[in-house]
Structure 1
């Protein structure tokens, strides 16, 4: 199976997801968090570092659950337009713009 290259929007979303999970994890160890979520510590490390920009939904759901994050909060955080106020695609709503 050939995987298409990620778009810049997908890469940015992955970076925002990683930052959100790192903040939510706080002082909790990566190992403890990963094991509680049923994922490998390496998977969590790659997601938090942005190396896995498009992790599987069940993986994110499990990690979010362990960290006490609602999926709505995760989605809202990672789909925010650029912080400088310029949306990725001007004139289109965020939901439509970032659908993959």
Structure 2
């Protein structure tokens, strides 16, 4: 299966997701967080660094649960900038 290249919006959303998870993790180690979420530390590291911009939903759900984040809050945070871009695009057309 060939993956299509990510759009700039997807890359930006992945970076916002990574930043959110890093902030929520605080002083907690990547290893402890990953093990509690049942994902590999490398997977969590890649998500936090934005190298995995579109992680699987169950992965994000598990990490969010461990960090005490609601999925609604995660979505609101990572899609925040996109709404502004959508509004700007609508104004131009």
Tell me whether the two structures share a fold, i.e. TM-score over 0.5: yes
Q: Could you say which structure has the higher helix fraction?
A: 2
- CA distance in 1 between partners of 2:61 and 2:81 (Å): 22
Post-superposition, which runs of at least 4 consecutive aligned residues in structure 1 deviate over 3 A?
none
How far apart, CA to CA, are the structure 1 residues paired with 2:84 and 2:45? 29
1:62-93 per-position Cα deviation (integer Å, ceiling 9, x unaligned) = 000000000000000000116xx95156228x
Higher RCO (CA < 8 A, seq sep 6+): 2
5+ residue gaps, structure 2, are none
Question: How many pairs are equivalent?
Answer: 90
Match of 2:89 in 1: 90
Paired position in structure 2 for 1:78 = 78
Residues 1-100 of structure 1 mapped to structure 2, 5 A cutoff: 1-81=1-81, 87-88=85-86, 90-91=89-90
In structure 1, the gaps of 5 or more residues are: 93-100
TM-score in terms of structure 1 length: 0.85
TM-score (norm 2): 0.91
In structure 2, C-alpha distance between the alignment counterparts of 1:65 and 1:86, rounded to whole Å = 28
